[in-house]
């Protein structure tokens, strides 16, 4: 894709986790690297989103959908037995309790409502394991929209149950046969398809990635996690604000939404990546899927495929705002292995009666490790976003345990 927006030196930094700078830049990252027809489509999404986000009517309609359909607000659960064992005070923000079982519903309900406001009748989405595809199909059914979901052929084979779910919900699932036949190629294909369908379709991207305004727009739709958690911490924690705020990072949407609620507090922000998908911790500067960010690359600058037992963390890059937060030192990015995540999932199930998604188990695995090696001081308070429930992972776990 041609870079149609000439790069300029960044203007002075905006307030942390505020609105991005002109042209959707977060420091040196972000931007709108897309073919001309998509640049215009992105501009329209940007304009519609700004207008909608400033409209109390839109905000109210979204808040109501989140309440009556998705089950918000989600609780803040103290993990009592595990906290005692670890010597820290661990609180879980329960996105696993939302309808469809993960935080993805927050973003898709926002985007589906925005699409309706823009007069679009169809949602286009990419999906890896199928979680974002199922959430998009759900939102489309709820609002009477069509949904077309691009999914790599290999993922279709591996995730047959979610493919069936999407079809049950009335969505069309389009197999992608190019490249690695997984999420990266499904995303490229969805964007390519949008080029020819911008008039009647909205591209509903699943994380804080892609061309401007998506990284910002998705973070704003996910900030409900952080805003709720901030108020819940204020009511329930003696200090009002936790010492640490922890979330797993694939593209980075549940982490960005969580961090947004605490960016202006002294809380330390920690993003936990999969060892085999560590875009923020180990990526190099590059451009993919419409934005400039950190991606896993080989010596020739080719994107390297990510590998993780958690399908939602199987993305070779990270959203541009996380790259910026890393550079600023405002957030720290760490990695855990598949084995650590699996052990953490089992431990949470047995101590708290909660089987987490393997993605969320990565965040917990870091908390367990950091409490053990003293990186988390005894008695410190930790807020961790539990991004999703583990039902989708039982067959994976059954094979591995």
In 237-319, which ranges are continuous DSSP H helix? Answer: 253-260, 279-282
CB of 252 to ligand PLP, least distance (A): 5
Identify which of 341, 346, 347 has the alpha carbon closest to the alpha carbon of residue 275.
Answer: 341
CB of 258 to ligand PLP, least distance (A): 9
What is the CB-side half-sphere exposure of residue 227 using CA atoms within 13 A? Answer: 11
**Closer by beta carbon to ligand PLP, 24 or else 251:** 251
Query: Assign residue 246 a region: left if phi > 0, alpha if psi is -120 to 50, beta otherwise?
Result: beta
| Residue where the block lists tokens 């949008």 | 194
Active-site annotation holds for 360: no
CB of 119 to ligand PLP, least distance (A): 28
CB of 108 to ligand PLP, least distance (A): 11
Cβ-contact 60, 352 below 8 angstroms: no
Rounded Cα–Cα distance for residues 17 and 22 (Å)? 14
What the block records as the tokens of 87 is: 């010597």
Outline where DSSP puts E strands in 122-161. 122-127, 146-152
Q: Which residues bind ligand PLP (CB under 6 A)?
A: 102, 104, 131, 207, 248-255, 312-313, 357, 359-360, 387-388
Task: Name the pairing type of β-strands 25-26 and 244-248.
Answer: unpaired
Rounded Cα–Cα distance for residues 271 and 253 (Å)? 11
| Residue where the block lists tokens 């990252």 | 29
**Closer by beta carbon to ligand PLP, 104 or else 184:** 104
Which among 253, 273, 387, 392 is annotated as catalytic? 387
- Tell me how far apart the 2 most distant CA atoms of the chain are, in Å: 56
Rounded Cα–Cα distance for residues 284 and 294 (Å)? 5
3-state secondary structure (DSSP) of residue 237? coil
Which among 104, 201, 253, 380 is annotated as catalytic? 104
Nearest to ligand PLP by Cβ — which residue? 388
CB of 390 to ligand PLP, least distance (A): 9
**Closer by beta carbon to ligand PLP, 131 or else 201:** 131
Active-site annotation holds for 275: no
CB of 379 to ligand PLP, least distance (A): 28
**Closer by beta carbon to ligand PLP, 117 or else 332:** 332
Is the bond into 213 cis (omega within 30 degrees of 0)? yes
**Closer by beta carbon to ligand PLP, 198 or else 392:** 392
Active-site annotation holds for 207: no
What the block records as the tokens of 239 is: 């200090």
Which class for 401: exposed (0-12), middle (13-18), buried (19 or more C-beta within 10 A)? exposed
**Closer by beta carbon to ligand PLP, 211 or else 252:** 252
| Residue where the block lists tokens 């490229």 | 188
**Closer by beta carbon to ligand PLP, 156 or else 208:** 208
What the block records as the tokens of 257 is: 């939404």
What the block records as the tokens of 255 is: 């982490």
Which among 126, 220, 321, 359 is annotated as catalytic? 126
**Closer by beta carbon to ligand PLP, 102 or else 182:** 102
What the block records as the tokens of 41 is: 């489509």
Residues tagged active-site = 104, 126, 387
């Amino acid at each position: 894709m041609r870079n149609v927006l000439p790069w300029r030196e960044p203007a002075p930094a905006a307030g942390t986790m505020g609105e991005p700078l002109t042209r959707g830049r977060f420091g040196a990252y972000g931007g709108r690297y897309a073919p001309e027809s998509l640049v215009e489509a992105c501009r329209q999404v940007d304009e519609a989103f700004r207008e909608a986000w400033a409209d109390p009517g839109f905000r109210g309609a979204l808040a109501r959908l989140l309440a009556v359909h998705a089950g918000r607000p989600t609780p803040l659960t103290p993990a009592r037995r595990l906290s005692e064992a670890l010597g820290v005070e661990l609180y879980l923000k329960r996105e696993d309790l939302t309808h469809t079982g993960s935080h993805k519903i927050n973003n898709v309900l926002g985007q589906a409502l925005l699409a309706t406001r823009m007069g679009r009748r169809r949602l286009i989405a990419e999906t890896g394991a199928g979680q974002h595809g199922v959430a998009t199909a759900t939102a489309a059914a709820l609002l009477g929209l069509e949904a077309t979901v691009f999914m790599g052929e290999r993922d279709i084979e591996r995730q047959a149950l979610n493919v069936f779910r999407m079809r049950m919900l009335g969505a069309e699932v389009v197999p992608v046969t190019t490249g690695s036949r997984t999420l990266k190629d499904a995303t490229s294909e969805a964007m390519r398809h949008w080029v020819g369908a911008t008039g009647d379709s909205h591209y509903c991207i699943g994380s804080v990635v892609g061309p401007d305004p998506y990284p910002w727009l998705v973070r704003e739709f996910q900030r409900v996690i952080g805003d709720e958690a901030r108020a819940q911490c204020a009511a329930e924690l003696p200090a009002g604000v936790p010492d640490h705020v922890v979330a797993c990072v694939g593209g980075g949407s549940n982490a960005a939404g969580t961090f947004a609620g605490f960016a202006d507090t002294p809380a330390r922000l920690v993003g936990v990546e999969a060892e085999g998908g560590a875009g923020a911790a180990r990526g190099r500067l590059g451009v993919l899927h419409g934005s400039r960010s950190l991606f896993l690359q080989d010596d020739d600058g080719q994107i390297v495929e990510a590998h993780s037992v958690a399908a939602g963390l199987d993305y070779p890059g990270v959203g541009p705002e996380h790259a910026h937060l890393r550079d600023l030192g405002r957030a720290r990015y760490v990695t855990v292995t598949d084995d650590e995540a699996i052990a953490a999932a089992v431990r949470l199930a047995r101590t708290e009666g909660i089987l987490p998604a393997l993605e969320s188990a990565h965040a917990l695995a870091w908390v367990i490790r950091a409490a053990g090696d003293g990186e988390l001081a005894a008695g410190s308070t930790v807020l961790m976003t539990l991004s999703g429930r583990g039902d989708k992972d039982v067959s994976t776990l059954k094979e591995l345990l």
